[in-house]
């Protein structure tokens, strides 16, 4: 099974809706600006996990590498934005990460398992979206996103590996099902905002995004 097939299976077979892809082509500036924010947040999440679990050496080793890699992505997408003369401005966060983080349980071990499972879903969805976008984008962006989708595939596997390393396998399996159901909702239901991880665009999403 290829990494993309593995990821689509992990995502419950829910591919990015065509309506989102059409909107992404219409709103490339928002796509890039939100993507830039997401790379920063990916690095920040990795660093905060390190800080919280500094004695877990497998986690700190992976998160340290991840944070550096996400910051390189941040610099790469920033360069593309600058090269295209796009004004860097504030773009609010989508409902996606907040919707997934609302699932985090309170106990110490439970919370770690959930953060890692949610991390795996965010990376998996990013990989799936980059792959779906590549054939539709201009050469520069297609090349950049084709490279990123490989990284996100690795990041997805890394988060999942850590979840099974530190959590009970049956609990991790159950939490994957819980997060998968909510992730499916966030991707397949109407969303008034267009963002990298938004749901199905509704008619006024272009105005709402500005
Ligand atoms: Fe990244
Ligand atoms: Fe990533």
Identify which ligand lies nearest to the alpha carbon of 45.
2
Where is 190: in which H helix or E strand? strand 190-191
Q: Give me the chain's average pLDDT, please.
A: 96
| Rounded Cα gap, residues 10 and 5, in angstroms | 9
Whether the pLDDT of residue 207 is over 90: the answer is: no
Instruction: Summarize pLDDT for 128-151 with one digit per residue, the tens.
Output: 999 999 999 999 999 999 999 999
148 CA from centroid of ligand 1 (Å): 7
Predicted pLDDT at 1? 77
Q: From the centroid of its chain, how far is CA 178?
A: 17
Q: Report how far apart, in Å, the C-alpha atoms of 184 and of each of 149, 162, 190, 200 are.
A: 20, 23, 12, 11
26 CA from centroid of ligand 2 (Å): 24
Whether the pLDDT of residue 206 is over 80: the answer is: no
Tokens of 155: 């990041």
Identify which ligand lies nearest to the alpha carbon of 72.
1
Instruction: Summarize pLDDT for 74-133 with one digit per residue, the tens.
Output: 999 999 999 999 999 999 999 999 999 999 999 999 999 999 999 999 999 999 999 999
Instruction: Summarize pLDDT for 168-185 with one digit per residue, the tens.
Output: 999 999 999 999 999 999
What does the pLDDT average to over 37-48? 98
Identify which ligand lies nearest to the alpha carbon of 157.
2
| Rounded Cα gap, residues 208 and 210, in angstroms | 6
Identify which ligand lies nearest to the alpha carbon of 73.
1
43 CA from centroid of ligand 1 (Å): 8
Ion ligand 2: residue ranges with CB closer than 5 A = 42, 123, 152, 155
Predicted pLDDT at 204? 55
Adjacent-strand bridge partners of 114: none
Instruction: Summarize pLDDT for 50-74 with one digit per residue, the tens.
Output: 999 999 999 999 999 999 999 999 9
Identify which ligand lies nearest to the alpha carbon of 39.
1
Predicted pLDDT at 203? 72
Measuring CA to CA, which residue among 126, 122, 80, 68 is closest to residue 100? 122
Q: What is the largest CA-CA distance in the chain?
A: 50
% of the chain with per-residue pLDDT over 90: 95
Dihedral over alpha carbons 17, 18, 20, 22 (to 10 degrees): 180
203 CA from centroid of ligand 2 (Å): 30
140 CA from centroid of ligand 2 (Å): 20
pLDDT band for position 16 (cuts 50, 70, 90) = very high
Tokens of 169: 């396998």
36 CA from centroid of ligand 1 (Å): 9
Whether the pLDDT of residue 210 is over 60: the answer is: no
Tokens of 187: 């991707």
152 CA from centroid of ligand 2 (Å): 4
């Amino acid at each position: 099974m290829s990494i993309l097939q593995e990821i689509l299976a992990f995502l419950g077979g829910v591919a990015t809706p065509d309506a989102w892809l059409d909107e992404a082509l219409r709103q490339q500036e928002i796509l890039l600006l939100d993507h830039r924010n997401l790379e920063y947040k990916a690095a920040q999440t990795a660093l905060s996990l390190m800080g919280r679990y500094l004695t877990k050496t497998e986690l700190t080793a992976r998160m340290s590498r991840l944070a550096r890699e996400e910051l390189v992505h941040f610099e790469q997408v920033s360069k593309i934005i600058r090269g295209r003369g796009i004004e860097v401005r504030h773009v609010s966060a989508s409902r996606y990460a907040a919707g997934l983080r609302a699932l985090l349980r309170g106990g110490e071990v439970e919370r770690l398992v959930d953060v890692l499972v949610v991390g795996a879903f965010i990376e998996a969805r990013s990989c799936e979206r980059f792959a779906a976008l590549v054939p539709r984008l201009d050469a520069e962006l297609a090349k950049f996103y084709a490279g990123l989708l490989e990284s996100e595939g690795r990041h997805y596997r890394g988060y999942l590996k850590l979840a099974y390393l530190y959590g009970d396998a049956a609990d991790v399996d159950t939490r994957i099902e819980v997060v998968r159901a909510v992730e499916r909702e966030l991707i397949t239901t109407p969303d008034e905002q267009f963002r990298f991880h938004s749901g199905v665009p509704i008619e006024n999403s272009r105005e709402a995004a500005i």
